[in-house]
Every structure is written in structure tokens, then in C-alpha cells.
Copies of this chain bind each other. A is one copy, B any other.
């Protein structure tokens, strides 16, 4: 904001510019009492277009704010999700906000129920982490400010989107395996309707294409959506190995699946990394404690959490976001360890 001089503009002045009474401006800002959708739209347009008196308005708003942010997360027992939620909570708390977390269990009905719950609790904004379908902004009240993390919104106009570069993660992980000499590559995948899973798979395919390796459907090992446990991956990999699908490189879409794959290879008499090289995704705390230690794609969860929170706070403070800000991709990097 360059117009600092105007930051002290009063509700009266906004009222004058909007052609409504100061009381109406106040009701619109606080979203409290009677006014038409048309009036609301008009007053907010005046406020935003002129970038007027944001500090003052933010202060006014604050009087009616709950200082609570709602977080929707599909599975709080997933180490990556819980680390993101934890970072968000710490950061938002330091900014004066309480965070209430709801676990949607990847269940569409439950998600809707929790959206209603959070709206009923008068949250100032929503952070929506991952989820099976695109996020449909029409399921939340129009005034509910929302930032989607790792989940594409259906209509990018109303919702801000931020994500790690899952595509590049998949691409680079596969490239590492190829450069280390692997020629028969497999991918273990679960939750294929997740944006992040699809992007990682797309990266895997594109890397194969770039290096002229054939992409074989047989080499896509699917683990049931409800089962991201290492055990499910172990069984699927063992099944593939016994059917004669021999790999010399495996990209696992997350570390849990990679741990299962490592165990399956060991049980089948294959050595990691001598016979099979394995790389995971998420850089779980325990990657360094497995034997061999596991290479993995590391998301910048600090940046992801902080940026998502900052974007939501900007929305809450009625700041106008640029289109670049409304859709952000955070770079990833690769951590190489013994498993490759």
C-alpha cells in the first residue's frame, strides 16, 4: 500500500464514496445486520478499488472478528499433513489467531459437515489441505475466505491455491533413478485422485519419455486408497515381484510406501540399493533411520505453511491479491541417501 496518508480515512468517507450511510458501511464491514448483496458488493468494491484505509478497516473488522481460523485436513495421522498443520498453528497463533482443526477422513459428506461446523463457529478464514476432488467454493458461504493447499479449487476466482511442485518432484526423483543406471522403473502409487498424486505420476511419466524409456502400465503398482500403510505397499510389491515384474528402480509416491517397498525387496532377496534403488516422497523424519536410509523428495513445508497463512491473513485484511499471488507453486528438492 502506497497511500499511507489515506490509511486513516474514516467509515464516513467510505460511506460518502459509496453513496450509503456510515451505519451501512459498518454493517457491511462487520458482515452484521441487513443490507442487500448489491450494497455489500458496491461498498466492498469502493474499499478495494481505492485501497483505502486498510489499517483502519482492518481494525474495525477486528471488532467483529472471531480471531479463529479453521483448518480442514484429510488425515491428521499423516506425518506430512500434521507437520504442515503444526506449522500453520504456530504461525497463526503468533499472529493472534486460534486455529481449530477438523479431520475430514477423505469423506465428502464429513467434509461438508465440518465446513458447516466451522462456519457455525464463525471462523475468519479457512485453510483447506489436500482432499480427493477439486475444492468447490460454492460449498462454503460466499464470505468465507479460503486458501487451498495441495488442492485445486474449481473456481480460482474466489479461492487462493498454493502447492508444492509435485510434478517436478516426480520428474526429478525419476531422473535420479535413471541417472544412477536404472532401466526398469516402477512407481508405487495410492490416492490417485489427489492432485499431488496425479502430478507426481505425471512427472514420472515425463521423465521416462525424456530419457526414452518405455512407460509400461505393468510398472504402476497401485495401493488401495484407504491403505497408505507400508504393509499394503509391501504386499503389492511382493505380488509384482512374484509375478515376474522385476524392477531396478522404484519411485514411491510417499515414504510410507517406500518403506514397504524396501522391506518387500529385502524379503524377495533383492538388495537396496545394489539390485533395486528406491526413492520416496515427503522426507519423513524416519528416512534417515531406516537401513538403508531412504532418499526422498522434500517439500518445503515451512514455506508452504507460512505462505498459505500469509495469503489467508491478507484476504482477511481485505488486501487485493495479484493473480501470481493467488496461485503459487513452491519448489521442492531432493535428499539423496543410501537407498539410491
Q: Known: A102-B98, A285-B256, A289-B263. Is A86-B90 also a contact (CB below 8 A)?
A: no
A255-284 contacts to B (CB < 8 Å): 256, 259-260, 262-263, 266
Question: What is the interface size of chain A, counting residues whose CB is below 8 A from a CB of the partner?
Answer: 41
Bitwise, A101-142 to B at CB < 8 A (1) or not (0) is 111010000100110010011000000000000000000000
A217-276 contacts to B (CB < 8 Å): 229-231, 256, 259-260, 262-263, 266
Q: Is A147 an interface residue (CB 8 A)?
A: no
Which segment of A8-16, A71-79, A156-164, A189-197 sits at the interface?
A: A71-79
Q: Which residue of B lies closest to A76 (CB)?
A: B82
Contact of A101 (CB < 8 Å), options: B102, B259, B266, B286: B102
Residues of B within 8 A of A68 (CB): 117, 121
**Is B75 within 8 A of A98, CB to CB?**
no
Q: Is A303 an interface residue (CB 8 A)?
A: no
The answer for the CA separation of A291 and B292 in the assembled complex, in Å, is 8
The answer for the CA separation of A286 and B121 in the assembled complex, in Å, is 37
Residues of B within 8 A of A291 (CB): 266, 290-291
**Is A102 within 8 A of B100, CB to CB?**
yes
Q: Is A145 an interface residue (CB 8 A)?
A: no
Q: Which residue of B lies closest to A289 (CB)?
A: B259
The answer for the CA separation of A156 and B86 in the assembled complex, in Å, is 31
Smallest CB separation, A107 vs chain B (Å): 9
The answer for the CA separation of A117 and B82 in the assembled complex, in Å, is 21
Q: Known: A230-B285, A230-B286, A289-B230. Is A86-B79 also a contact (CB below 8 A)?
A: no
Residues of B within 8 A of A286 (CB): 230, 259, 286, 290
Smallest CB separation, A64 vs chain B (Å): 14
Q: Known: A68-B117, A256-B285. Is A103-B105 also a contact (CB below 8 A)?
A: no
Residues of B within 8 A of A266 (CB): 291
Residue among A83, A259, A262 with most chain B CB within 10 A: A259
Q: Is A89 an interface residue (CB 8 A)?
A: yes
Q: Known: A98-B117, A290-B290. Is A110-B86 also a contact (CB below 8 A)?
A: no
The answer for the CA separation of A298 and B153 in the assembled complex, in Å, is 41
Contact of A86 (CB < 8 Å), options: B75, B120, B290: B75
**Is A105 within 8 A of B117, CB to CB?**
no
Residues of B within 8 A of A285 (CB): 229-230, 256
Smallest CB separation, A100 vs chain B (Å): 4
**Is A76 within 8 A of B79, CB to CB?**
no
Q: Known: A85-B103, A89-B103, A289-B263. Is A98-B113 also a contact (CB below 8 A)?
A: yes
> With A75-B86, A76-B101, A263-B289 given, can you name 6 additional A-B contacts, CB distance below 8 Å?
A68-B117, A76-B82, A77-B82, A229-B285, A230-B288, A291-B291
Q: Which residues of A contact B (CB under 8 A)?
A: 66, 68, 75-77, 79, 82-83, 85-86, 89-90, 93, 98-103, 105, 110, 113-114, 117, 120-121, 229-231, 256, 259-260, 262-263, 266, 285-286, 288-291
Can you list 8 A-B contacts (CB < 8 A)?
A76-B85, A89-B103, A90-B105, A98-B117, A99-B102, A286-B286, A286-B290, A291-B291
